Chain A
Amino acid sequence: AQKITQTQPGMFVQEKEAVTLDCTYDTSDPSYGLFWYKQPSSGEMIFLIYQGSYDQQNATEGRYSLNFQKARKSANLVISASQLGDSAMYFCAMRGTREAGTALIFGKGTTLSVSS
């Protein structure tokens, strides 16, 4: 069965510092996508970054980068130069061809708190 594991329930970082949020996954599907979403206290889910299983390079989107290590089945999110507005819940998710409707499988999330 496909599974996403996020082992950090909470992370604390100061403004302008970089932070890494961990994510490991388990799948036997050769074709899959890895996603990170941000969920502020308002509840909306905001798409941050995507990495395909066949992509050779790590994905980057502005201050977000995804450290993809396929052999270790990890897809860590790196946020550079943290801002107060980055305080939120962060979810790692996977989408594969073998899951029902290729729906997203989510981890339990990591709460990030950024302080000044």
Chain B
Amino acid sequence: DGGITQSPKYLFRKEGQNVTLSCEQNLNHDAMYWYRQDPGQGLRLIYYSQIVNDFQKGDIAEGYSVSREKKESFPLTVTSAQKNPTAFYLCASSIRATPSYEQYFGPGTRLTVT
């Protein structure tokens, strides 16, 4: 089955620790995205990548880092510099980075930092 996997589903960390969220897709999509969702809110873009070995900051990139060494993988690291890291994180992919293609989403990771 083709799709996007994110692991783990729930993640708990102590303040001051870096944590990496996994995102893998086997859809052969070029573009991948990371969004953050806070309670009662829509999604906001953290980082995106249109091609392997290239990625760009989104609207709320501060305190986050990514890598895109393989087409299938786009991990997100939440660093200790992120002031409010507790949120729901969603990874998405799209065949191309063009308006006519929908984005497919993974199941998400709920991160809680205490």
- On whether the beta carbons of B99 and A45 are closer than 8 Å, the reply is no
CB within 8 Å of B: which residues of A?
4, 31-33, 35, 37, 42-47, 50, 52-53, 91, 93, 95-97, 100-104, 106-109
Please report the C-alpha to C-alpha distance between residue A61 and residue B103 in the assembled complex, in whole angstroms. 17
Please report the C-alpha to C-alpha distance between residue A104 and residue B59 in the assembled complex, in whole angstroms. 12
- On whether the beta carbons of A43 and B107 are closer than 8 Å, the reply is yes
Please report the C-alpha to C-alpha distance between residue A97 and residue B110 in the assembled complex, in whole angstroms. 30
B85 at the interface (CB under 8 A from A): no
Q: Per-position contact with A for B81-113: 1 when CB-CB < 8 Å, else 0?
A: 000000010101010011111111111101000
Most chain A beta-carbon contacts within 10 A, residue among B42, B49, B110 = B42
Q: Size range of the interface on B?
A: 20 to 34
Please report the C-alpha to C-alpha distance between residue A107 and residue B104 in the assembled complex, in whole angstroms. 17
B40 at the interface (CB under 8 A from A): yes
Selected from B48, B50, B107, the residue in CB contact (under 8 A) with A44 is B107
- On whether the beta carbons of B48 and A50 are closer than 8 Å, the reply is no
Please report the C-alpha to C-alpha distance between residue A97 and residue B96 in the assembled complex, in whole angstroms. 12
Q: List B contacts of A47 (CB < 8 A).
A: 102-105
Provide a sorted-by-A list of 6 A–B residue pairs whose CB atoms are within 8 angstroms: A33-B100, A45-B105, A100-B56, A102-B94, A104-B92, A107-B42
- On whether the beta carbons of A44 and B108 are closer than 8 Å, the reply is yes
Please report the C-alpha to C-alpha distance between residue A70 and residue B111 in the assembled complex, in whole angstroms. 39
Q: List B contacts of A42 (CB < 8 A).
A: 107
